[in-house]
C-alpha cells in the first residue's frame, strides 16, 4: 500500500516536470527559522535538479512594510544581519545541492539600483530605500549558468549611498522585470482561499478580519500579477515540503493568486437552457456528446453547473451523484472554443472533484468516446463497463461504445 501511494505521488508529479523545466521562480522567505530554511533549501535543490531556476530572497527583517533607518550605525547593523542571514541560507543550499549532486553554481549578486524611500506623512525613512532599476540583463546572464541566484535585500544608489529594501518589493520587481512564471512567498498565514484572481485578492487585502501583515503582503504582491507574472503562491513556512507539495501535486497546499479573470461557476437554471444547448450543439453534431433534446435538458438541468464570464456562458459540466457506491459521474464537460487555452476545462473538472469530496465520495467517473487522453493526463484511469454503478450500468448505451474512466479522490 505504501509503495502504491509513493508511485501515485510520483506519477502525479511527473506531469509537472516538463511543464516547469526551464522556468524561473522567485522564492521569498519571510523571517524563517534555521530549521525551516534547511527544509526549504532541500526543496529548492530538488526544483533546481528539475531544471528550474530559483531566485532566492531571504531578508533578515519583516517584509511588506517600510521602516525607519536613521543612522549610519543602524544601517551597518542591518547590512551585517542581512549578509549573515544570506550566508546561512547559502550554506544550507550548498549542503542540499551536494546531497542531490547538483554541480551548477549558487551565485549571490546585487540586482537593484536604489533610491530613498523618502518622507511620508512627515516621517523621514532615512536609509530605507525602494527600487530604481532592476539589472535585468545581468540577472539573465547569471541564470544562464547558475541554478540558484541569491539576491541581498540592499542596493546602491547612483550617488554611492546604500539602502535597505523591502524584500517583498524586491521580489515583486524582479519577478515582474524578468517575467518569471511564479513568485512564491513563504510566510505565516492561515485560511486564505486556495485560488483567487487579482481582483479578488484586492478585495481580500481590505478584509479587516485578516492580520495587517497578510493584508499588506497580498496588496504589495498583486502588482506582479498585473505586470505579467503568472502565479503568486502564498505558502506556510511552517509546513515541511510546502514548496514541493504546492508545485508538484495537482491540488497544491497553499493559496494562489492568478492572472486569470474571474469566472463564476453556479448551478444551471431553466432560463439557461437555450444558451446551454447552443454551447453543446457543435459537440453533439460531431459525436463528442450524446444528443439531448430541450426536454431532456429541462429534466436534467439541476445536474448542470455553468461557468460564466461577464454574464456570458463559457463552460458547463454535469454532476450525477451515486451515493450508494460513493461515486459521482462527470458528464458533458464543455468549454467555449474561445476559452479552451485557458484551462477552463480543468477548473470545471476540479469543481466536480471538490463537490464529490464534499459529498464524502471516494471517486468520480466519466464516459468518453473522443477525449480519453486528456482525461488520462488529468489522473483518470480506464476501467471496465462492469465497474459502473448499477443504475448507470442499467442505462449504458452500448451503441456509443464509450470508454469508462475512474479517478480516485484523495
Burial code of 229-246, b = ≥16 C-beta within 10 A, e = fewer? Answer: bbbbbbbbbeeeebbbbb
Whether residue 342 is predicted with pLDDT greater than 70 in this model: the reply is: no
Chain segment 232-256, per-residue pLDDT in tens: 999 999 999 999 999 988 678 899 9
- Split at pLDDT 50, 70, 90, the class of 199 is confident
Same fold, 2-258 and 264-408: no
Summarize pLDDT for 52-78 with one digit per residue, the tens: 999 999 999 999 999 999 999 999 999
| Residue-averaged pLDDT of the chain | 91
How far is it, in rounded angstroms, from Cα 348 to Cα 303?
13
Q: Cell triple for residue 119?
A: 518622507
117-120 long-range contacts (CB < 8 A, ≥24 apart) are: 117/66, 117/163, 120/66
- Enclosing H/E stretch for 14: helix 2-20
If one compares 127 and 370, the residue with the highest pLDDT of the two is 127
Beta-carbon contacts of 260 under 8 Å, excluding residues fewer than 6 positions away, are 197, 342
Find the distance separating the first CA and the last CA of the chain, reported in whole Å.
14
Task: Give buried/exposed letters for 2-32 (b at 16+ CB in 10 A, else e).
Answer: eeeeeeeeeeebeeeeeebeebbbbbbbbbb
For residue range 133-178, list pLDDT tens digits in order.
999 999 999 999 999 999 999 999 999 999 999 999 999 999 999 9
Q: Which residues of 103-240 form beta strands (DSSP E)?
A: 105-108, 112-116, 119-120, 123-124, 128-134, 146-150, 154-156, 162-165, 182-187, 195-197, 231-236
How many Å apart are CA 116 and CA 58, to the nearest integer?
A: 21
Q: Grid coordinates representing 374?
A: 486528456
Per-residue CA distances from 10 to 40, 249, 407 (Å) = 20, 9, 16
C-alpha cell at 161: 549611498
pLDDT of residue 3: 67
Q: Which of 292, 250, 202, 241 is nearest to 377 (CA)?
A: 250
Polymer length in residues for the chain? 410
Who wins on pLDDT, 189 or 328? 328
**Residue-wise over 163-173: b if at least 16 C-beta within 10 A, else e?**
bbbbbbbbbbb
**Domain coordinates in residue numbering, the chain:** 2-258, 264-408
pLDDT at 72: 95
pLDDT at residue 186 is higher than 90: yes
Per-residue pLDDT tens over the stretch 275-295: 999 999 999 998 888 888 999
Share of the chain above pLDDT 70, in %: 97
The answer to whether 195 and 37 have CB atoms below 8 angstroms apart is no
Copy the grid coordinates of residue 165: 529594501
Percent of the chain topping pLDDT 90: 77
| DSSP helix/strand/coil, 144 | coil
pTM of the entire predicted model: 0.69
CATH number for region 264-408: 3.40.630.30
Mean predicted confidence (pLDDT) in 188-203:
86
Question: Of the spans 2-16, 26-40, 254-268, which averages the highest pLDDT?
Answer: 26-40
Higher pLDDT, 236 or 310: 236
The x, y and z cell numbers of residue 102, run together, are 547538483
Q: Which CATH architecture has domain 2-258?
A: 3-Layer(aba) Sandwich (3.40)
Instruction: In whole angstroms, give the CA distance from residue 350 to residue 338.
Output: 20
**Going by DSSP bridges, is the β-strand pair 24-29/182-187 parallel, antiparallel, or unpaired?**
parallel
* Amino acid 341: pLDDT: 72
From the centroid of its chain, how far is CA 373?
Answer: 24
pLDDT in tens, 82-141: 999 999 999 999 999 998 888 888 999 988 999 999 999 999 999 999 999 999 999 999
Least Cα distance to 103 among 143, 144, 54, 48 occurs for 48
Backbone angles phi, psi at 390, to 5 degrees: -60, -35
Amino acid at each position: 500500500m505504501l509503495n502504491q501511494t509513493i508511485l501515485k505521488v510520483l506519477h502525479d508529479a511527473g506531469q509537472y516536470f516538463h511543464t516547469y523545466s526551464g522556468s524561473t521562480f522567485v522564492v521569498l522567505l519571510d523571517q524563517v527559522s534555521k530549521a525551516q530554511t534547511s527544509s526549504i533549501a532541500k526543496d529548492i535543490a530538488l526544483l533546481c535538479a528539475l531544471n528550474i531556476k530559483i531566485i532566492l530572497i531571504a531578508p533578515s527583517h519583516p517584509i511588506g512594510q517600510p521602516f525607519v533607518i536613521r543612522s549610519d550605525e543602524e544601517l551597518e547593523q542591518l547590512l551585517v544581519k542581512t549578509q549573515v542571514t544570506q550566508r546561512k541560507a547559502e550554506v544550507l543550499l550548498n549542503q542540499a545541492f551536494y546531497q542531490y549532486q547538483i554541480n551548477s553554481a549558487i551565485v549571490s549578486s546585487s540586482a537593484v539600483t536604489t533610491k530613498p524611500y523618502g518622507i511620508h506623512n512627515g516621517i523621514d525613512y532615512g536609509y530605507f530605500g525602494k527600487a530604481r532599476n532592476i539589472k535585468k540583463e545581468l540577472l539573465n546572464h547569471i541564470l544562464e549558468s547558475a541554478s540558484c541566484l541569491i539576491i541581498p535585500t540592499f542596493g546602491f544608489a547612483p550617488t554611492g549611498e546604500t539602502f535597505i529594501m523591502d524584500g517583498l518589493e524586491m521580489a515583486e520587481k524582479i519577478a515582474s522585470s524578468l517575467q518569471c512564471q511564479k513568485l512564491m512567498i513563504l510566510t505565516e498565514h492561515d485560511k486564505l482561499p486556495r485560488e483567487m484572481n487579482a481582483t479578488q485578492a484586492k478585495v481580500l487585502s481590505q478584509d479587516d478580519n485578516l492580520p495587517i501583515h497578510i493584508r499588506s503582503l497580498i496588496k504589495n504582491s498583486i502588482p506582479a500579477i498585473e505586470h505579467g507574472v503568472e502565479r503568486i503562491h502564498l505558502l506556510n513556512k511552517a509546513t515541511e515540503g510546502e514548496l514541493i507539495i504546492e508545485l508538484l501535486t495537482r491540488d497544491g497546499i497553499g493559496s494562489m493568486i492568478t492572472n486569470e479573470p474571474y469566472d463564476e461557476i453556479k448551478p444551471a437554471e431553466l432560463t439557461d437552457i437555450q444558451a446551454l444547448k447552443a454551447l453543446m450543439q457543435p459537440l453533439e453534431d460531431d459525436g463528442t456528446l450524446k444528443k439531448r433534446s430541450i426536454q431532456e435538458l429541462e429534466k436534467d438541468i439541476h445536474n448542470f453547473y455553468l461557468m460564466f464570464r461577464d454574464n456570458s456562458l463559457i463552460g458547463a459540466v454535469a454532476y450525477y451523484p451515486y451515493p450508494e457506491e460513493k461515486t459521482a459521474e462527470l458528464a458533458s464537460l464543455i468549454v467555449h472554443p474561445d476559452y479552451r487555452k485557458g484551462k477552463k476545462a480543468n477548473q470545471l473538472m476540479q469543481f466536480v472533484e471538490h463537490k464529490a469530496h464534499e459529498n464524502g465520495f471516494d471517486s468520480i467517473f466519466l464516459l468518453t468516446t473522443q477525449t480519453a487522453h486528456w482525461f488520462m493526463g488529468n489522473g483518470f484511469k480506464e476501467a471496465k463497463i462492469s465497474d459502473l454503478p448499477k443504475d448507470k450500468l442499467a442505462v449504458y448505451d452500448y451503441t456509443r461504445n464509450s470508454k469508462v474512466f475512474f479517478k480516485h479522490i484523495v
